[in-house]
Amino acid sequence: MAEENQDHLIQSEDPQHPANLICTLCAKFYTLGWVTGTGGGTSIRHHDHIYIAPSGVQKELMKPEDMFVMEYESRNYLRRPSVHKPSACTPLFLAAFDKGAGCCIHTHSQWAVLITLLVERDFGKEACFEIEEIEQIKGIPKGRGKQGNLGYYDRLRIPIIENTAHEEDLTESLTKAMESYPDTYAVLVRRHGIYVWGDNVHKAKTQCESLDYIFQLAVRMKELGLPWTKQ
């Protein structure tokens, strides 16, 4: 399919249309410090179409016409705005869609980055943030194919991967972490941020909010000398 004249893919009066939703979500995320200075972003899968933001732009100022649209099966771009390049996070978003996600959010939240600095790097072992007995853990699903969310006494585990010089080079380690932690809906990237995905936009957003709350709390707990887990 020619990439020209595909504007119908991004033109809609419906605020829930992915092209509109990515813009409104990123404007909200900017106010939380999640996507400032062009970092971070959001991608949505809508049936066989993947909506992707441009790379290196102010994410809070994007317009629907800035959006790239990819056909999921073929990985071909159906719409490619000539003035932009697609987000460097695209292969990572696709890795989440390959796991059944409907939306993937990447933030550069300082709370997420601080957590990756507080969990020590253990060479030869996969690093992981762990916390339990915090009410907000109930905002995170038990795992893919499992019913319901974690309970108060469950332990939340979020794997941490090492950062790379270029965002797209994170794909291999992100995919590996997804395989090592099949129940996870998020992967932290050391000194960088986090990728959070969900079955749909609502779940990706609320999970991202719950995790950010937990990370902020965990940083404060560490400052106060309080443990994240019972042992």
Binding mask 77-96 for ligand L4RZE5RM (x = CB under 6 A): ----------xxx-------
DSSP 149: B
Q: Does 159 interact with ligand L4RZE5RM (rule: CB under 6 A)?
A: no
Strand residue runs (E) in the chain? 41-46, 49-52, 68-71, 77-79, 103-107, 127-132, 155-161, 186-189, 193-198
Smallest distance from ligand L4RZE5RM to CB 52, Å: 9
Q: Are 18 and 93 in contact (CB under 8 A)?
A: no
Catalytic residue among 65, 133, 135, 172: 135
**Cβ neighbourhood burial of 207 (10 Å; 0-12, 13-18, 19+):** buried
Q: Give the three-state DSSP class for 171.
A: helix
Q: Is 135 in the active site? A: yes
Is residue 192 annotated as involved in ligand binding?
Answer: yes
Binding mask 28-67 for ligand L4RZE5RM (x = CB under 6 A): ---------xxxxx-------------xx-----------
Is residue 8 annotated as involved in ligand binding?
Answer: no
What is the Cα–Cα distance from 106 to 196, expressed in whole angstroms? 6
Output the known binding site.
89, 106, 108, 192
| Residues of the shown chain interacting with ligand L4RZE5RM in the complex, contacts defined by CB under 6 A | 37-41, 55-56, 87-89, 106, 167
Give the residue numbers annotated as catalytic, written as ranges. Answer: 135
